[in-house]
Structure 1
Amino acid sequence: MATALNLIGVHLLFERNDEVLLGLRGPNAVYAPNTWHFPAGGCEHESVKQCAVREAEEELGLHLDPEHLDLVHSVHLLDPGNPRPLLELVLRVKHWTGEPQLMEPDKCSAWAWWPKTALPDPIVPYAKAALEGIAGGSAYTELGWPEARLPRSTTLTAPKES
Structure 2
Amino acid sequence: MATTLNLIGSHLLFERNDEVLLGLRGPDAKFAPDTWHFPAGCCEHESVKRCAVREAEEELGLLLAPEHLDLVHTVHLLDPGNPRPLLELIFRVTRWSGEPQLMEPDKCSAWAWWPKDALPQPIVPYAKAALEGIAADRTYTELGWPAARQSSVTATTSKES
TM-score interval for Structure 1 and Structure 2 normalised by the shorter chain:
over 0.9
Shift of 1:25: 0.1
Shift of 1:157: 5.5
Structure 2 unmatched runs, 5+:
none
Q: Deviations over 1:49-90 (max 9, x none)?
A: 100100000000000011110000000000000000000000
Q: Deviations over 1:7-29 (max 9, x none)?
A: 00000000001000000000001
Aligned residue identity for 2:120: P
- 1:51 is aligned to 2:51: yes
Structure 1 unmatched runs, 5+:
none
- Compute the RMSD of aligned alpha carbons: 1.7
What is the distance in 2 between the residues matched to 1:53 and 1:26?
A: 22
Question: How many residue pairs align between the two structures?
Answer: 161
- 1:33 is aligned to 2:33: yes
Q: Deviations over 1:77-104 (max 9, x none)?
A: 0000000000000000000000000000
Q: Deviations over 1:87-129 (max 9, x none)?
A: 0000000000000000000000000000000000000000000
Corresponding position of 2:69: 69
What is the distance in 2 between the residues matched to 1:43 and 1:161?
A: 58
What is the distance in 2 between the residues matched to 1:157 and 1:136?
A: 38
Shift of 1:30: 1.1
> For 1:112, what is the secondary structure of its paired residue?
strand
- 1:141 is aligned to 2:141: yes
> For 1:22, what is the secondary structure of its paired residue?
strand
Corresponding position of 2:106: 106
> For 2:14, what is the secondary structure of its paired residue?
strand
How many percent identity over aligned positions? 81
Corresponding position of 1:78: 78
What is the distance in 1 between the residues matched to 2:13 and 2:87?
A: 16
What is the distance in 2 between the residues matched to 1:161 and 1:10?
A: 56
What is the distance in 1 between the residues matched to 2:61 and 2:85?
A: 30
Change (3 A) 1:150 1:109: same
Shift of 1:151: 2.6
What is the distance in 2 between the residues matched to 1:156 and 1:5?
A: 37
Corresponding position of 2:119: 119
Shift of 1:47: 0.6
Runs of 4+ in 1 over 6 A off after TM superposition: 158-162
